[in-house]
Structure 1
Amino acid sequence: MIKIQVNKLHTLTGHNDCIYALVEGPDPRFFYTASGDGMVVEWDMDNPKDGKLMAKVAHSVYALEVDKERNLLFIGHNFEGIHVIDLENSKELWSIKVTDQSIFDIKAIGNELYVGTGDGVIIIIDIENKTIKKHIKIGKKSVRVLSIDPSKRQLAIGLSDNSIKIFNLSDHSPIHNLEAHNNSVFALGYAPNKPILVSGGRDAYLNIWDSNAYSLQESIVAHMFAINYLSFREDGKYFVTCSMDKSIKVWDSETYKLLKVIDKSRYAGHGTSINKVLWSSYNHQIVSVSDDRKISIWELQL
């Protein structure tokens, strides 16, 4: 088993409520967080102590996404819609009212923005025209998480009905319906450089799927409580999961063996549920956000 050294570099504060959203910027030196207080904040990996307020909206924000080509930040404003920030000058360019539901995840690819909502709908927005292209009702329960495989042009959707649905991005047709977990699916990620989809959910299991046939390869009891999110390292060799059990776990993408547990008792980790985790492509540090209103930045020596 490889020896991993963990060093907690920073604890960042400033949000006044649970932090739910985390995304890396088009320039990966920067990342963005959003919380129940409606604040969206930019952080600089080179100088992380001082966050920059990008937006303040009326309701909580569960989802953020970036458009790397256009240098845009998309904010999922619960019960309202999407706000679009030009990151060049930190100004709101436009907004669009799309739903009266919670927005749990947003993903952008090409000219399309995919928005997953609390009433089981995927809303597709044309970014250039700033218009709604389509509503796809895919379930009776919430769409919780989205993941895109750009090479196959496929969209994986995790729902609160315990399923994962796979759609073709070219014509938005359904391809697969996977009976995935015993409870809501919160975490999804396509592995870089290999045909694997990893899912995690409220049942605390990690499921490993072959993304060619979408057959289940392995099922792992991974955490004590719900798995809230996962993130691959840029080279795809490792990934991290975060959980309601207040821990971050590091996994090997080849063997799916647990390599490290980062928690409060051993590494002064978060004191409450960890909602999102990001393996930075800028410096390979790990960023985590929590119900404790704090952001932690971790250095791993693998």
Structure 2
Amino acid sequence: MAKIEIKKRHTLTGHQNPVFAVEKGVESSKVFTGGNDKGVVEWDSLEGKFLRIILPVKTSVYSLHHIQNSKLLAVGERSGQVTIIDTTNQEIVAKLSHHRKPIFCIQSFHSKPELIISSEDGTVSVWETSTFKLLYNFKVSTETVRCIALNGKEDVFALGSKDSKIRIFDAKEYSIIHEIHEHTMPITALAFSPDNKHLLTGGRDAQLNIFNTVNYALEKNITAHMFSIYGIVYHPYLPLFATASRDKSIKIWRADDFSLLKIISQEKGYESHRLSINGIIWEEDMLISVSDDKSAIIWDIDTNV
């Protein structure tokens, strides 16, 4: 893969305030966004069209997650509430009112019907996804648990906290098995590599750290951005990953040697975001980014050049 070509497909506008979260739908052409305004919005990503407000909300949306093996979307709010909505009929399935502080990340399993939620209150809760009964709640840190990453085998997951520590947990017993303290500032992004050999971590210190998953030793450190890294996402099938930052840039990296391939920013000549980029996801060969500038942008990433 010698080159990639990046073109902007669509800019999605309509949010009245910063957009914090983006998530794919069950259908490949559907995408959801949420932020500091009154609703979670559903878009057609191929056509670049507004479809509907799928869920009105009372407080800012900080996290969105499509629950595995379902048509359900979990919406995490600044209030601490998590609303579960069926995206086909727009029916609210459950309201999880356990946490009293903002919800920053939500993840679920393919292999078992469980949902993990992390909060500013320093705890993580685990829910059964057919009844939405609370299974576990445990303290992780005295500060915000900002992000969650589940590995491909679904036997371990990582939690990143405001205290600058990454904690590795056993996904069956929910017991801690390792702690990493290499960043100097809060952890803001986590991702396991598709082959489960590496854990990538990003922080407010703008550092991208690569750890092996044998003993979680640091293998590589990269000053990847100028400010906080708010997203690390692997391409669904190509050996690429992308990072997004408060510095208004998206960077595309090779997954094999962690070398930089491309920078998407206004400084590099792209009609890109003007403010902090708060989240990114892949949808096939499209990369979707959301920003403080109230917009989402859909990028075509062409590797056949």
What TM-score, normalized by structure 2, do the two folds share? 0.95
Kept in 2, the 8 Å contact 1:191–1:236? The answer is no
Deviation at 1:100, TM superposition (A): 1.2
Aligned residue in 1 for 2:91: 91
**1:171 is matched with which residue?**
173
Q: Which runs of 5+ in 1 are unaligned?
A: none
CA drift at 1:7: 0.8
SS state at 1:144 partner: strand
Alignment partner, residue 277 of structure 2: 274
Residues 153 and 196 in structure 2, CA contact (< 8 A), matched pair in contact too: no
Secondary structure of the corresponding residue to residue 290 of structure 2: strand
| Cα distance between partner residues in 2 of 1:90 and 1:47 | 21
User: What percent identity do the matched residue pairs reach?
Assistant: 32
CA distance in 2, matches of 1:26, 1:175: 33
For 1:146-169, what per-residue CA distance to the aligned partner results, in whole angstroms no more than 9, with x for missing partners?
A: 011141511110100001101111
Aligned partner of residue 49 in structure 2, secondary structure: coil
Task: Show the counterpart of 1:82.
Answer: 82
Give 2:10's aligned residue. 10
1 CA distance for matches of 2:262 and 2:248?
14
Shift of residue 236, structure 1, vs aligned partner: 5.1
CA distance in 1, matches of 2:118, 2:105: 5
Distance 2:25 2:155 in 1: 22
SS in 2 for 1:50: strand
- Aligned letter for 1:191? S
Q: Return the letter of the residue paired with 1:269.
A: S
What amino acid does structure 1 have at the position aligned with 2:57? V
Relative to structure 2, which stretch is displaced further, 115-124 or 190-199?
190-199
Q: How far apart are residue 119 of structure 1 and its match?
A: 1.6
In the alignment, which residue of structure 2 is the partner of 1:291?
A: 292
SS at match of 2:172: coil
Q: Is the 8 A contact 2:100 2:121 kept in 1?
A: no
Query: Counterpart of 1:233 in structure 2: which amino acid?
Result: H
- Do 1:26 and 1:68's aligned partners in 2 also have CA atoms closer than 8 Å? no
| Alpha-carbon distance in 2 for matches of 1:128, 1:236 | 33
Distance 1:31 1:237 in 2: 23
- In the TM superposition, what whole-angstrom CA distance separates every residue of 1:79-117 from its partner, at most 9, and x where no partner exists? 241111112212212212111101000011121111100
Alignment match, 1:130:
132
| Equivalent residues of 2:20, 2:35 under 8 A apart | yes
8 A contact 2:59–2:79 mirrored in 1: yes
Q: CA deviation at 1:30?
A: 1.5
Describe how 1:1-302 pairs up with structure 2 within 5 A: 2-109=2-109, 110-235=112-237, 237-265=239-267, 266-281=269-284, 284-302=285-303
> Is residue 75–residue 84 contact of structure 2 (8 Å, CA) maintained in 1?
yes
Shift of 1:228: 0.9
Q: TM-score, normalised by structure 1?
A: 0.96
What are the superposed Cα offsets for residues 31-75 of structure 1, whole Å, 9 maximum, x if unpaired?
Answer: 211111141111222222223211011000101111231210001
Q: Matched residues in 2 for 1:194 and 1:14: separation?
A: 38
Distance in structure 1 (CA, Å) of the matches to 2:154 and 2:55: 34
Q: Distance in 1 between matches of 2:26 and 2:159?
A: 23
Q: Secondary structure at the match of 1:6?
A: strand
